[in-house]
Structure 1
Amino acid sequence: MVATLTAPQTIDWASSLDLGPLLVAEIEAYLRSLPAPASRAPVLAPVLPVNPYGQVIHSWHHGIELPEPTLLGRIRGRRPIAQVTPAQHLDLLSRYIHQHGWLQGALWDASGAVCILGAQLRILAAGYSSPAVVERARELIGNEIGYRRERGPIDTWNDTKGRRAAEVHQLLRAAAARAH
């Protein structure tokens, strides 16, 4: 599968999702920091290996179900939100990235691959978290980066040249373990 990266778009996040002001500011700062695409060269998406002995494939949100919408919520046009802890949110991040693919230099691409921030936004938009939980999870990830004696905000850490997806999953699992 071949996907192309597109230039970051300006999105009115505050009106499209009920995001906290800190998260909105962080997203905008990250989008401004991205360089303009040098060319329209295709980027090959990673292909996950297939287990020859078979495997039950679960969705990234398996085990955490959305509550049924209330009548008042339907009238107001609100989607239900699953109440998750920051540790569960970090686990969902790792599962989402594993299922859709990991990306550097953009929030997401046409094939569905995401960076850490892009995965958080997708999970939030799907109703599996709240802005407060997302902000707490980002604090935990930042703390874990600090424990590893690495520097920079999460998005810079994600986009560091030579970074591997396995390191992202290890970081998310370690941050979730410390959250318990």
Structure 2
Amino acid sequence: MPRTALGPAPAPRPLVPFGPDAAGLVAEIEAYLASLPAPARTPAPYVCPYGSVPQPWHAGHRPPRATLLDRALRRPARPVPLTAAEHLALASRYIAAHGWLQGAMWDASGRVCLLGAQAAVLAHGFGTPATVRTARVQLMEVLHATGRPVNSPDEFNDRPATRQADVHRLLERAAARAARLGL
């Protein structure tokens, strides 16, 4: 049976279930949306001014790049020159990024001790062995100046009473000392 036999087709339903008397509600919603701060109205994600974006441990230092000659001769890229202070700061950031460990240089999950962090920074092409030696001397100077007579920074790292925060504090003080001395 054709549709015309049943009478007129029903009127299409509006997409918004508001009638003519809901105009006040729509105006109220629009006024509320207009009062919101700009980030809430824009489609871009809002970034908190107090937050931070996760960065790699070596942020601020360009990683070593192999030149064409390095690639042709199949040799590693030249290390990025660092001061002892920068090396110590990078070692602290490496520990913060990968985790801290006592009793071993590193483990399967990537955690490292103080020496392991220094070795990792060097292995990633930041600094030279001379930079690491200078940094270790600064660590020993700070340990002795703060009344912790040990034979090496590694002995301090592995003491049962040492915590990760102590290692970071040591690295920070040694970096500040090295920066003051221009090392």
TM-score (norm 1): 0.68
Give 1 or 2 for the bigger CA radius of gyration.
Answer: 2
Instruction: Point out which structure has higher relative CO (alpha carbons under 8 A, 6+ apart).
Output: 1
Aligned to 1:92: 90
- Confirm whether residue 64 of structure 1 aligns to residue 51 of structure 2: no
Q: Identity, % of aligned pairs?
A: 47
- Confirm whether residue 125 of structure 1 aligns to residue 139 of structure 2: no
**1:66 Cα deviation after fit:** 2.5
Aligned to 1:101: 99
Distance in 2 of aligned mates of 1:82 and 1:96: 16
**1:149 Cα deviation after fit:** 1.2
Query: Could you say what the CA RMSD is over the residues aligned between the two structures, in angstroms?
Result: 1.3
Aligned to 1:3: none
Distance in 2 of aligned mates of 1:164 and 1:68: 35
Aligned to 2:160: 161
- 8 Å CA contact 1:66–1:80 kept in 2: the answer is no
- 8 Å CA contact 2:86–2:175 kept in 1: the answer is yes
The superposition leaves residues 78-103 of structure 1 with CA deviations (integer Å, 9 ceiling, x where unpaired) of 22311111000000011000011111
Within-5 A mapping of 1:107-146: 107-146=105-144
What letter corresponds to residue 163 of structure 2 in structure 1? R
* Corresponding pairs, count: 128
What letter corresponds to residue 65 of structure 2 in structure 1? E
Gapped runs of 5+ residues in structure 2? 1-49
Distance in 1 of aligned mates of 2:167 and 2:131: 19
The superposition leaves residues 91-139 of structure 1 with CA deviations (integer Å, 9 ceiling, x where unpaired) of 0011000011111000001111100100111111110111010110011
What letter corresponds to residue 161 of structure 1 in structure 2? P
Aligned to 1:41: none
- 8 Å CA contact 2:114–2:154 kept in 1: the answer is yes
What letter corresponds to residue 103 of structure 2 in structure 1? G
Distance in 2 of aligned mates of 1:89 and 1:137: 7
- 8 Å CA contact 2:99–2:111 kept in 1: the answer is yes
- 8 Å CA contact 2:88–2:135 kept in 1: the answer is yes
Distance in 2 of aligned mates of 1:68 and 1:108: 26
What letter corresponds to residue 128 of structure 1 in structure 2? F
Distance in 1 of aligned mates of 2:70 and 2:161: 45
Aligned to 2:176: 177
